[in-house]
Amino acid sequence: MPEKDALLASALEPITKPLPSPLAGAIGQIIAREAYLEWVLGQVLYDLMEISIKQGRVILKFPRPGQYIAAIRDLYDFHGISPAMSLEDLSRKLDVADRTRNVLTRSVYMRSRGKAAGIVIARSPWDAGPGSEAQAEVQLVDDEFLARCRRNVEAAVDAAENLYKTTDDALRRLHERRRTQSNLDRRGRP
């Protein structure tokens, strides 16, 4: 007889009702920050492409962190500007934040059948995305876990805001040079 999966044979059962409000609120705040992170990253991409956010939403699907960094690197090269920060470091932070969101949104929240133990998060039985293989099979959802999730996302938000500011500064200097140096003005050329 085949052996049952350890998680399925355990004393855990999925939570079928809404999560307790404090827990749901903490998870929601982390996910909201991740959404803000994607907005900031979108602004950088749209600015470098010189399109509006409305145009960007129509034509672009938000890429995975590695693809995003490759696109940013290519656009920086296109404009002839250099990033004022480590894109490799940003890529790592974005990847960790992405995996954190995936854990929070694609896992199953469970509790013990018997005792009133804490809530645990169980890795999704389906593909939870890149990096999910490193996620523990079962993780207690406690203050320490949530604080780690918050730190992961906030580190990426800080790095993305820095990229946004430095990109904006670099593009403003570039546009000023184009405006004041006739050899860089692309409007008058055939």
DSSP for 52-76? -HHHHHHH-PPPPHHHHHHHHHHHH
In a domain, 91, yes or no: yes
Total domain count for the chain?
A: 1
- Provide the CB-side half-sphere exposure for 111 (13 A, CA): 14
- Name residue, tokens 């079962």: 138
Q: What is the pTM of this model?
A: 0.82
> Residue 190: what pLDDT?
53
> Residue 5: what pLDDT?
47
> Residue 27: what pLDDT?
96
In a domain, 52, yes or no: yes
In terms of residue numbers, what domain contains 167?
18-106+144-176
In a domain, 114, yes or no: no
In a domain, 76, yes or no: yes
In a domain, 112, yes or no: no
In a domain, 26, yes or no: yes
- Please give the backbone phi and psi of residue 169, each rounded to the nearest 5 degrees, phi first: -60, -45
> Residue 163: what pLDDT?
97
In a domain, 84, yes or no: yes
> Residue 4: what pLDDT?
44
> Residue 9: what pLDDT?
46
In a domain, 102, yes or no: yes
Kindly give the parts of the chain with pLDDT less than 70: 1-10, 114-117, 124-136, 183-190
Query: Quick one: angle between helices 21-49 and 87-106, nearest 10?
Result: 140
